[in-house]
Amino acid sequence: MEKDRKSLIRRIFLESELEAEYTRDLNVAFTISLVILIAAFAFGKGCKMQEYKPKKAQETALEQIDLQTEFEEPPPPPPKPKVALPEEIEEVESEAEQDTINIAETVEFDEEDMPPPPPPPKVFEVFDVDEPPEPVVNVQPEYPEIARQAGLEGKVLVEAIIDENGNVIDARIKYSDNEIFNEAALAAMRKMKFKPAKQKGIPVKVKIIQPFIFKLRR
């Protein structure tokens, strides 16, 4: 405890000395500055400003410059465009309108410029339609006499397209195990009549496969 008290007293003493030194130094600095200012004012009174005069007059030499220079004559300016009077403008516009009318009257359309015809209706597969076609007139093929005499039997699959009216518009052989029955199967297929297929209640073209079996009676 005694030690802390001594330390505190010593610190207070040091702060007092520093404060005294600071005040003394500030007074000394102020006194010196004042003395310098008074001396400068006293000695500066006798100074006079004199105009500067060069010791030697400067000589200026003038050099003659030849102003005769060859210049190329510039080309003449282009002629100003002629401004049409209001009457002339009206006449030109009227002539342009007449030309436009004449051109429009002589325009001829070429068949090649006409838009192409619409694409043919789509042919649906039988499994893509809502209502497949149903045979109304079923025709049995005639048994070929040569095949009957030879005792031949066979099976033919005919691929056909049925239109919106139920007519057969195309038929071809899809499969045949004996070509002797092909013509009879195609002829029977072309004579058949169908109830047309429908997609969303609308008659459409559809592709079907119709089987024909040729078998002899025993």
Q: What is the CATH number of the domain that holds 147?
A: 3.30.2420.10
Residue 38 lies inside a defined structural domain of this protein: no
What number of other Cβ atoms are within 10 A of residue 158's Cβ? 24
What number of other Cβ atoms are within 10 A of residue 131's Cβ? 15
Each of the 218 residues of the chain gets a pLDDT tens digit; together they read 666 666 766 776 666 666 667 677 778 887 888 888 787 777 665 555 566 665 555 555 555 555 454 545 667 777 766 655 544 445 545 454 555 555 555 556 566 667 777 777 789 999 999 999 999 999 999 999 999 999 999 999 999 999 999 999 999 999 999 999 999 999 999 999 999 999 999 999 999 999 999 999 87
Residue 146 lies inside a defined structural domain of this protein: yes
Residue 163 lies inside a defined structural domain of this protein: yes
**Structural domain containing residue 18:** 1-33
Q: Write down the pLDDT at residue 89.
A: 40
The beta-strand segments (E) located in the chain are 123-125, 134-137, 154-162, 168-176, 193-195, 197-199, 202-214
Phi/psi-derived region of residue 73, left when phi > 0, alpha when psi is between -120 and 50, beta in every other case: beta
**Whole-angstrom distance, CA of residue 114 vs CA of residue 63:** 87
Q: Write down the pLDDT at residue 92.
A: 47
Q: Write down the pLDDT at residue 57.
A: 53
Q: Tokens 């500066």 identify what position?
A: 44
Q: Write down the pLDDT at residue 69.
A: 45
Structure tokens at 11: 């610190």
Element at 89 (helix H, strand E): helix 86-105
Q: Write down the pLDDT at residue 123.
A: 92
Residue 67 lies inside a defined structural domain of this protein: no
Q: Write down the pLDDT at residue 187.
A: 96
Residue 80 lies inside a defined structural domain of this protein: no
Residue 48 lies inside a defined structural domain of this protein: no
Total number of domains constituting the chain = 2
Structure tokens at 68: 């005769």
Residue 175 lies inside a defined structural domain of this protein: yes
Kindly state the DSSP code that residue 131 receives in the 8-state scheme: B
Residue 133 lies inside a defined structural domain of this protein: yes
